[in-house]
Amino acid sequence: MKELKVTEFINKLASNEPTPGGGAAAGVTAGLGIGAILMAMLFSQSDKLSEEEQSFLAQKIEDFEKSKEVFVNIIDRDATEFEPLSAAYGMPRNSDDEKQARQEAIQKGLVIASQPPIDLISEVTKIVEDFDKVIPLIKKIIISDVGVGLQMLRSAVQASSLNLYINGGQLKDKDKQEEYYDLANTKVADLSTQLDEYYSQVKDILIK
């Protein structure tokens, strides 16, 4: 999926094919978001920054490049890690044994399919850490791209929470279900608030 042209991906998403789905779209969105932020950071590297600032910015660029790869891989992982669940839904259920085997496979499949959105949320959690120290280092002429990136990361996080709701809602393991719901509720809310605060900081710089 990640090798498709943008228009091909959009057209496949807008078709009646099962993949790509919303999780892959969230991966694309997060990838575009961190990409826009990275562009602004790379353009802002300058000898005018102190050595400490240059070192900090360079380290963050390296970290965010790794985050970008995580998001790009999620585009494909959303499809491949959905396959066990898709196969489980298609298992026979003519006898009690078959029904039990099918239900066990579905439960395992739900956990596997939930890992990409969990990883996306986890990666955005890493990105927001110390991000308030990144913003002052960005050139004003390109800082709007940071704002764009922040909004896309926020959308990707919110989208990932929906995958956790739909998968978690089918889990028989109530502890695991509660874990997913807590992540989708509390963690996503905290991340969204933090991303909104950074976005406001960007806007304040733009309107000064």
Cis bond upstream, residue 20 (ω within 30)? yes
pLDDT at 2 over 90: no
At 88 the pLDDT is 95
* Threshold 0.75, pTM exceeds: yes
pLDDT (0 to 100) of residue 1: 66
List domains and CATH numbers for the chain: 19-206 (1.20.120.680)
Q: Give tens-digit pLDDT for 21-73.
A: 899 999 999 999 999 999 999 999 999 999 999 999 999 999 999 999 999 99
Lowest mean pLDDT among 71-75, 76-80, 180-184: 76-80
CA pair distance 50, 77, nearest whole angstrom: 40
Q: Which of 207, 204, 202 is nearest to 36 (CA)?
A: 202
The C-alpha atoms of residue 152 and residue 119 are separated, in whole angstroms, by: 16
3-state DSSP percent of the chain in helix, strand and coil, to 5? 80, 0, 20
